[in-house]
Amino acid sequence: MSKIRVRIAPSPTGYVHIGNIRTILFNYFFARQMKGDFIVRIEDTDQTRLVDDALVHLLKVLKDLKIDYDEGPYLDENDKILEKGDFGSYIQSERKKSGIYKKFAEELIEKGYAYRCFCTPERLEEMRKNLQEKNLPTKYDRKCLHLTQKEIDEKIANGEKFVIRLKVPDNEQIEFEDWTYGKISTPSNSIDDQVLLKSDGFPTYHLAVVVDDHLMQISHIFRGEDWLPSTPKHILIYKAFGWEIPQHVHIPNVLQPNKKKLSKRFEDVSTRNYLEKGYLPEAIWNYLSFVGWNPGTEQEIMSREEILKSFDIHKIQKSGGIFNIEKLDWYNGIYIRKLSIDEFVSRSKRFLINAKILTEKDFEDSEKLKYIKKVLGLVQKRIKILSEVPESVNSFFSENIQVDKKLLTTKGKEKTKEILQKVFENLTNLEIWTHDELSKNLESIAEIFGRSQVFFTTRVAITGKQFSPGVFESLEVLGKERSLKRIKKLI
């Protein structure tokens, strides 16, 4: 058996989204499991829909997600795009410059499997409109199939623009075996004479994938299920060239909540967006791996090593899976709690700095860093997304906090001041400022006014928040001086 070579072939027409990543992950699992080559190829044949920074965006996401590959474009330290691998270029617009796609399209004409078509877009549109009105399939009517060589030469001499179309055979049944969907069988009569080479000289996806997959010796094609209906066209092209047909593995789509295919325009499903909001790469891996696949056990939490080990390409689901943000949130919470405190601090850092709660310098000061660790330790199990960190800790880092009077008095009612006065007196005399001592100390007041009242009121007084870490650990971390100052202000 020849070497396993697998590729992902994104088109930079938008920012790579969560669903794209899932397909990429499955490709990756297979490649690494089989000890094959994993290749990134950029399919930028649609020059009209290119999004400038989409490629850089993609490469950064791959890097952040730690999806490594053997061949393809990558970013150097200055975000300059370079390429690695022996089958380059891995960017189709670059490959096009050598004229390969044109050459292969013309080869197909010579062999009688393709023909030039001079029809204008206007005519095609009109033709389709007519067919649609009659409820007929909107296939090309093959007007240009029967042009004589003389007519063709004249049109070319006249400078008429043309495309090259695949000549789909009549009355055949085209079949192939898909690893996840099984045998797919399509009548050739339902397949349009697909354009292979556009009039601007660029290949369409259909020509470019086949040519490049062949040239790059791709052994297995993993791609979204939306490509399933186009595969027969590709089979035809492989056969016309006399090339070996790779294995096909179509992967069900990731869907929006309305069950429609995830689109690059759908809200903010761009993967970068999730990374920036503070979703952990390990949570994204785990969640996405479990959409359309699972290990067949009841295990839900799996590290990348475990997934890599037990992933089974034959157990891929056939139907699409809805992108469920709640479950991703749950996974993210799990992985945040798994982080060591140092790791949690370092991942939260940029959020704290961006929110202007702390500065880069604060993290370099060992005393301050100690305090930061203590504070973050308080909230680690309370948040699901890193972007929640600033809001959850801000009262520990600012000197003047706002305390909502209404909130303060919800539990204490008219006794609020009395409670705080008593708490203040007690704590002023407290020597050992630890969780346990604080707890013991305030217990006596709790007995008078009620636990809930005392603890709630005190907690609000020092944090200003309705929801926050517990009162004793908050007092402990905040320190005696700061705590007393806050309480005194409210008396």
Which residues, 239 to 268, sit near RNA by CB under 7 A? 252-253, 255, 258-261
Q: Residues 103, 309, 451, 488: which binds RNA (CB under 7 A)? A: 451
102 assigned to active site = no
Nearest to 233 by CA among 179, 183, 184, 193: 193
The CA radius of gyration of the chain, in Å to the nearest whole number, is: 31
- In the numeric block, the tokens 């704590």 are attached to 427
Q: How far is the CB of 433 from RNA (least distance, A)?
A: 15
x/- letters, 355..394, toward RNA (CB under 7 A) = --------------------------xx------------
Among 33, 89, 93, 199, binds RNA (CB under 7 A): 199
What is the Cα 173 distance to its own chain's centre? 37
Q: Is the dihedral of CA 124, 130, 133, 135 positive or negative?
A: negative
By the rule CB under 7 A, 205 interacts with RNA: yes
Query: Is 190 a binder of RNA (CB under 7 A)?
Result: yes
Dihedral sign, Cα of residue 7, residue 320, residue 304, residue 337:
positive
Nearest distance, CB of residue 32 and RNA, angstroms: 21
Does 433 sit near RNA (CB under 7 A)? no
Q: How many angstroms separate the CA atoms of 470 and 23, rounded?
A: 43
> By CB under 7 A, what part of segment 388-427 binds RNA?
none
Q: Which of 15, 101, 181, 396 touches RNA (CB under 7 A)?
A: 181
DSSP string across 420-453: HHHHHHHHHT----SHHHHHHHHHHHHHHH-HHH
| Minimum separation from the CB atom of position 313 to RNA (A) | 13
> What are the CA-CA distances from residue 105 to residues 96, 200, 207 (Å)?
12, 14, 8
Site for RNA in 55-114 (CB under 7 A): none
Give ∠ CA 265-267-271 in degrees, rounded to 5: 85
**Cβ pair 370, 337 in contact under 8 A:** no
Please give the size of the binding site for RNA, defined by CB under 7 A.
89
Binder of RNA out of 334, 353, 355, 490 (CB under 7 A)? 334
**Binds RNA by CB under 7 A, chosen from 111, 229, 239, 365:** 229
Sole window of 51-59, 105-113, 289-297, 368-376 interacting with RNA (rule: CB under 7 A): 289-297
The two tokens of residue 433 are: 């400022």
Which residue among 155, 161, 264, 338 is the active-site one?
Answer: 264
Q: Which residue in the set 472, 476, 483, 486 belongs to the binding site for RNA (CB under 7 A)? A: 472
Asked if 15 contacts 51 with a C-beta cutoff of 8 angstroms, the reply is yes
- List active site positions: 264
